[in-house]
Amino acid sequence: MQTGSNWWLPTIYMPEMNGLELYRQIKDEQSDMRFIFITGYSNQEETSRYISEPQTELLQKPFRSQNLAVKVRELLNQDRPNINN
């Protein structure tokens, strides 16, 4: 049983590695980790690679705190059973 929320909020472009490399490295060690990638770039081909991965969301900069809260809720609700069905 998971008792906490395990998620990261990395940017897509970082100095040492990109966000997808970070995602894969961490997912190899902790498969339950979830990611919300942030980016200021609008290259759809590039960003679509990130949201095609399981347990990921993408948030375009600039964003409001409400948008971040919505993405966090969406991410945490993934893989949860729907009690309305």
Is position 15 within any domain? yes
Is position 42 within any domain? yes
SS3 at position 27: helix
User: 2 Cβ partners below 8 Å, 6+ apart?
Assistant: 32
pTM over 0.85: no
Is position 1 within any domain? no
Dump pLDDT digits (tens) for 52-81: 777 888 888 999 999 999 988 888 887 654
pLDDT greater at residue 13 or residue 83: 13
Number of H helices, E strands in the chain: 3, 3
Q: 24: domain range?
A: 7-77
Is position 83 within any domain? no
Domains identified in the chain, total number: 1
Is position 85 within any domain? no
29 pLDDT higher than 80 = yes
Write the CA distances from 76 to 9, 15, 68, 81, integer angstroms.
Answer: 13, 28, 12, 12
Q: Are 23 and 14 a contacting pair, CB within 8 Å?
A: no
Domain of residue 62, CATH code: 3.40.50.2300
